[in-house]
Structures are given as C-alpha cells and as structure tokens.
Homo-oligomer: A and B are copies of this chain.
Amino acid sequence: MGILRGNAIVGQSGGPTAAINATLAGVIEGAINSDGAIGALYGMRHGVVGLLEENIINLSEIFASPDGEGIDCDKLSLLAQTPAAALGSCRKKLPNPADDSEFYLNLISIFKKYDIRYFFYIGGNDSMDTVAKLTEYLKYSDYEMRCVGIPKTIDNDLTGTDHTPGFGSAAKYIAATVQEIIRDCSVYAVPAVTIVEIMGRDAGWLTAAAAIPGRIANTPCDFIYLPERVFNMDRFICDVKGALEKKHAVVVAVSEGVRFADGKYVGEGSQSGVTDVFGHKYLAGTGKALENAVKEKIGCKVRSVELNICQRCASHITSRTDLEESAEIGRGGVSFALQGESGVMVCALREEKTEYSIKLSPLPIASIANAVRCVPDSYINESGNYVTDECIDYILPLIAGECDIKYNKGLPIHITL
C-alpha cells in the first residue's frame, strides 16, 4: 500500500492508567518522526466526545522541540510519567454504522475539515469497539483513513495480546502494596485477618499480582480469590481459620468481582436490605463483606483495605518494562498505520525465548473488541484459593524494572496538556 499523506488524530478513552500517557508519548514520537507522512498530530479532548465538538489540540506543535528540530524529549518524558489520560477520557459507545449513518457522516466531515487520515485510539474493550465500528463504516465510505486501536487497560483482559499496557505498572503497585500491608499487619502478636480488595470485575489478573511478594520476597499473602472461580463463603472461612492455626497475621487478596454460585457479587450479597440514613443501599464492597464474615464467624481482629483507584493511577511506582512497552506500542501503532494497516489493534506477542521479550503484531480488531480474556485454568490452583507458579512466571517480567521519576519539591512532576 502506498504512502497516505495527511494529518493524524489520537484519543484516549476508558479508565485511567499510569501508562496511558506513555503510549500517547509513543504515538507523538511516531507521528513527529514519520518523515512528513503525517503532517500534524491532533489530540482529541475526552476521546470521541471532544472530537465531535472539535475540541482538539495540536500535539505536534506542543511537543516540537524549542529549536523547531524534532521532539521536545524532556516534555515527552514528563508526559510519560503523568498518570491518567492527559487528553481527557470518555465512556461513549458509538452507534452501529448501519443504524446511524448521520453520526458517521458528521465524523467524516470533521476528519475532512482537518484532513485527518490516521485515527489512533488508545483504550480498552469499549475503545476497541469504537475503532471497529469506525473501520466498518469506512469500508463503505470513499474517505480514506486508517484506524488503529492501541490497547490500554490495567485489567489485562483484552484478547489477542499477551498483556495490556498499564497492567504491569498496576500489578507492580499491587504487589508492592500487598508486600507492605503484609509487613504492616504482622507487627502485633495477636490473631488478625486483613482483606485486600483489588480491582477486576470479570478477570482476576490484578488480584493474581498479590502472589508476587510470596515468590520473590518470602512475604506471602495467604489466599487469593479470583472472579474466575465461584466464591464459597464457608470455604473461605475454613481457609482463614486453618491459616490462623499456624500464624497470627493472615492476609487475603480478593477480586472485587468474585461471585457466589448464584451469580450474585459477594459485595452485593452482603448488603441486601441494608440502607444508610438516606435510604441508600450500602455498596460496602467485597472486602467489607469478607471483613464482616470474618468478624461474625471467627471473631478475631479484622480489617479490609480497598486499593481503589490508587492501583490504576499510582504513577510514582511504575514498571519500567510496562512504560517502555507502552511507548513502543504507541510508536508501533503509528508504524503499522503508515504501512497501510487499518482496523487492527497493536498486540504484544511474547516471544518463545529464555529471556522475556515481545514483538508487536497488528491483529484484526473486530475479533478483539468486546471479548474478555480471563485468567486461564492452569493459572489457578486446584482449591481455587491461590494462583499457580505458571501464573506468577507470566506476571513477573511485566513488573520488572523501575522508572527514573522526576520530582519537584518532593512530588513527582506531571504535565497538563
């Protein structure tokens, strides 16, 4: 396919991560270094929502080096260490091309106005759906534009790719924090149970990272419960009771998304009929539900800790592997588009070598959008209360390496676009 000359636009969509701006930095680098194939790289504010309002900025100008030659690398590296979507994000599901051609005609008119020939969208499942639909529409349009999806999600639940940018850093934060929590909870010589609730509604990848301190630092958490297995409260209490017979401080990692056999979320189940002073249902969460169960059935000291949004935005402790790969995947997206690819997502394939490495590959996005990749059976132990060595081996290289974070007066420096 020949060289398609024109401008490009990039957007970020879905939940924030600590690596999504490293990917954006990669796209910026790829576009500025495209030997003129890409003229200007625009950024959409708040994803397609901003695009529809023509709320866009010129990233090529913002990241041009002061002397006009090449890239402002200092600014780019600050962007890479800034958490959450620097362009802003959205959660917008596009209409089906067959149902609402007017929507797409409107989009195309904006693309034409800015001569946009490359469309890069960084995000998770829903964002890939956006790319898939836009590609689908373009098939029947005479407007030539190449659309590439660039993966991003801490949840690591996209198919086609070995892992997703953002997962490694979130996993590193979780592993480091669980290690610290285990230390914290072990100081007193009294029986105590600590429940750590970790993100992951359908896939337990992040929760599995709680196994890392046990492997490499001899600081194991005692049980790990993933949404891939039915949660049984009696078995949980039995697990914890058994552990308390051998040690004082028992630490449990649990995915927010674990469910009972009837399909009800564990967090949801415990709140039936419970309301606050305003009559609201208490959404106490999974950790709180297990905390209450331990209080009731065992009666020892118990606490729950919800890692909450910190696990997706903790840019002060990121995986160097993750951030480097995130930028590489961003550059890769531009490179694939320049080579003529469209309707693809940039996937990272783990190479079969003794040392960890990946190679990038563009895979058809239609097969990826809206599918969820769960933790496979071989990664979960038979009792369903921990992960296997194979699982830990899979995660370990993804958290490797530390980033050299730049600080000012005690705080990491972030950039505002």
Interface residues of A (CB under 8 A from B): 12, 16, 45-46, 49-50, 82-85, 88-91, 172, 175-177, 179-181, 183-189, 212-213, 216-219, 270-278, 280, 282, 284, 292-293, 295-296, 303, 305-310, 312-317, 319, 396, 399-402, 405, 407-414, 416
Contacts and interface: CB of A to CB of B under 8 A. Distances in A.
A188 B277 contact: no
Contacts of A396: 409-410
Contact of A183 (B83, B90, B175, B276): B83
Nearest to A405: B402
Q: Which 7 A-B pairs have the closest CB atoms?
A: A399-B410, A184-B313, A89-B187, A84-B183, A278-B296, A180-B313, A85-B187
Contact of A46 (B189, B282, B410, B412): B189
A94 to B, nearest CB: 17
B217 A408 contact: yes
A181 B316 CA distance: 12
Contact of A410 (B45, B88, B175, B181): B175
B414 A219 contact: yes
Given A317-B316, A408-B217, A188 B91 contact: yes
A412 B176 contact: yes
Nearest to A50: B189
A276 B270 contact: yes
Nearest to A179: B411
A282 B277 contact: no
Q: Is the interface of A mostly helix, strand, loop or mixed?
A: loop
Contacts of A296: 278, 280
B309 A280 contact: no
21 contacts: A84-B184, A84-B187, A88-B189, A172-B410, A172-B411, A175-B410, A175-B411, A176-B316, A176-B411, A179-B412, A180-B313, A180-B316, A184-B309, A217-B414, A272-B277, A274-B274, A280-B296, A284-B284, A303-B309, A305-B308, A305-B309
A11 to B, nearest CB: 12
A180 B169 CA distance: 14
Nearest to A91: B188
A313 B196 CA distance: 14
A315 B183 CA distance: 11
A316 B369 CA distance: 36
A300 to B, nearest CB: 14
Contacts of A310: 177, 180-181, 305, 307, 310
Contacts of A45: 189
Nearest to A303: B309
Contacts of A219: 414
A265 to B, nearest CB: 14
A272 B278 CA distance: 11
Nearest to A12: B187
B189 A90 contact: yes
A279 to B, nearest CB: 9
A401 B411 contact: no
A278 B292 contact: yes
A10 to B, nearest CB: 15
Given A278-B293, A396-B410, 4 more contacts: A85-B187, A172-B410, A219-B414, A276-B292
